[in-house]
Structure 1
């Protein structure tokens, strides 16, 4: 049996607070549902978690903040698990207040190391009659009773646009709460784009793994259009709902081509590519975790044509060189600075 996160265990000690129709926002471990005797709706923004929830007979799964299964004033109790981003907490609380029926209850649970103390201030600003009901397993559990239902919630109202520019190519990039960099150009992606300009990819299909807001795919297609004439479309894949939503919006605004897929790793990716580019994540919640990239490197070879290139940017301290050599081929350094290194390897 998998070990539940502390926040989920803290909720289990307060099951008497779950009354009537219950909705969970941001649940990360479906195993919790085996110990909760409620038929409810569970929203996650993680494609892998959603796949697991789809096999659950006692719950209705929802992927992301605009899933059709999310219905106004449909829950008597809404449980909000604390997200990593404070801006996403505002989004999640707004959705909770729209989902909860008039006079219902909203519960917030999170760990100390996740920042529950600061999160409580946000909760009290939005739902002033909130109170702490438990402190257990390094977590706090808060509730607001007799909540007034909000009448409007539109994800589009939370979408923001950011202008980014690199190597003379400018883009409007979409951002939503909870997405890495929220549409801005982070330093790792910037140095990766520099290598694309200086040492372009070979013509052919391109896959952007962990595509985020779609910066790499949109930029590369615009760069090709202005400098090479022929343009290779770029497919993007990401595990997070907000990333997939933003990447699709970025592609539409930039008038570029490519499929944007929601997937846990490469699970739904089909076919082979001439090139795979990535600025992969190395955090799970607040922990450094390079296992996502290792799993990606183990499986990406079958999606590269013979001689196809993997181009990856990563923080210098991450142990990717040996993994790239093991699963793809001999790596070389295309660019580096005091924080990042861009690796290139071709499939043998």
Structure 2
């Protein structure tokens, strides 16, 4: 699909889940589930876990100006279904909907398929490694505040933690092996003001709030879905603060501890940049005696980067897949 040809043929398009490097028409509206800075600062972009938030936007979008919705499908089928259901509850019946994606995200599995509320999809265009599908909204559906949310109880080191999820949030309905290794090796003196970077569903923060003397919890994530899920996971906990951002937020106060199982995937894509920038800046968000506890895959080179930022690095746990590093005495700080 040639970008300029598409824009000339579909000038009034609403974009859903465009990739981080997408170049959108200046006046086009878009809904993003990831808080990349270039979209957060874009006037006609909504960064939220639900399209419904757009109804209260400071610049309400006029449905009369939109005749096409273009959805960039993610790899996770449940997340694609979630995006479609949001479109179904927000846009008027009759609007044409296009799905675009590459073969490695499974676009072919959506071809010639009937989805609830939509006409059967058919192929509109085929590229070397991607496909464009066409469908039409035939039946709307009232927005449900609870749509997509699920809850599950997860056993963590003898504690039962109730966790909320949305489609696309990391490690849905289970405790991933990296986080399990991290939580099994928490320092005994951990407490105070804590930042959970790459918080996902909020399971780390929930466990810390249950087992450690925490005075404040600050949860950060790139995904609006993760922030919404973690807010539900910690709904009854006090002194929780949430940041939807693609790195350490400027307003984060100095922390006693920053804890992270940092991401290196966004959907199908591998992306190390967020974690690299996090490591390069993390010391500036710690108190003078603050510490970083981080878990990561064995093959990742994070210890070398950590040595540039901290005077003391120690591997406190390791197995065939993961390492947990404790970093103390920041070299630079506020």
Same fold (TM over 0.5): yes
Alignment match, 1:166 = 156
Alignment match, 2:287 = 305
Contact 2:246 2:274 in 1 (8 A): no
1:339–1:119 distance in 2 versus 1, CA, 3 Å: farther
Q: What is the deviation of 1:88?
A: 0.4
Alignment match, 2:39 = 52
Q: What is the deviation of 1:115?
A: 1.6
Alignment match, 2:48 = 63
Query: Number of paired residues?
Result: 323
Secondary structure at the aligned position of 1:205 is classed as: strand
Higher helix share goes to which structure? 1
Within 1, Cα distance between the matches of 2:52 and 2:41? Answer: 14
Name stretches of at least 5 consecutive residues in structure 2 with no aligned partner: none
1:183–1:125 distance in 2 versus 1, CA, 3 Å: same
Within 1, Cα distance between the matches of 2:103 and 2:141? Answer: 32
Alignment match, 2:260 = 278
Q: What is the deviation of 1:17?
A: 4.9
CA RMSD of aligned residues (A): 2.4
Contact 1:43 1:64 in 2 (8 A): no
Within 1, Cα distance between the matches of 2:159 and 2:216? Answer: 17
Contact 2:90 2:143 in 1 (8 A): no
Within 1, Cα distance between the matches of 2:298 and 2:281? Answer: 23
Contact 1:73 1:102 in 2 (8 A): no
Alignment match, 2:79 = 88
1:238 pairs with 216, 221, 224, which one? 221
Secondary structure at the aligned position of 1:274 is classed as: strand
Question: C-alpha offsets along residues 55-113 of structure 1, whole Å, 9 cap, x if unaligned?
Answer: 34xx3534331453158993421111111311000011111222332221010000112
Contact 2:257 2:292 in 1 (8 A): yes
Segment of structure 1 superposing worse, 110-119 or 295-304: 110-119
Q: Is the aligned partner of 1:262 residue 2:253?
A: no
2:196 pairs with 208, 220, 224, which one? 208
Contact 1:73 1:98 in 2 (8 A): no
Segment of structure 1 superposing worse, 242-251 or 279-288: 279-288
Contact 2:52 2:86 in 1 (8 A): no
2:168 pairs with 178, 185, 189, which one? 178
Within 1, Cα distance between the matches of 2:32 and 2:45? Answer: 11
1:242–1:158 distance in 2 versus 1, CA, 3 Å: same
Question: C-alpha offsets along residues 205-251 of structure 1, whole Å, 9 cap, x if unaligned?
Answer: 11110111111111011012xxxxx4433211111101100111101
Q: What is the deviation of 1:282?
A: 1.1
Name stretches of at least 5 consecutive residues in structure 1 with no aligned partner: 1-8, 225-229
Alignment match, 1:327 = 309
Q: What is the deviation of 1:41?
A: 2.2
Within 2, Cα distance between the matches of 1:169 and 1:220? Answer: 11
Within 2, Cα distance between the matches of 1:325 and 1:305? Answer: 18
Alignment match, 2:234 = 251
Contact 1:204 1:232 in 2 (8 A): yes
Q: What is the deviation of 1:19?
A: 5.7
Q: TM-score, length-normalised on structure 2?
A: 0.88
1:82–1:310 distance in 2 versus 1, CA, 3 Å: same
Q: What is the deviation of 1:12?
A: 4.3
Q: What is the deviation of 1:52?
A: 3.0
Q: Is the aligned partner of 1:108 residue 2:95?
A: no
Alignment match, 1:315 = 297
Within 1, Cα distance between the matches of 2:128 and 2:145? Answer: 33
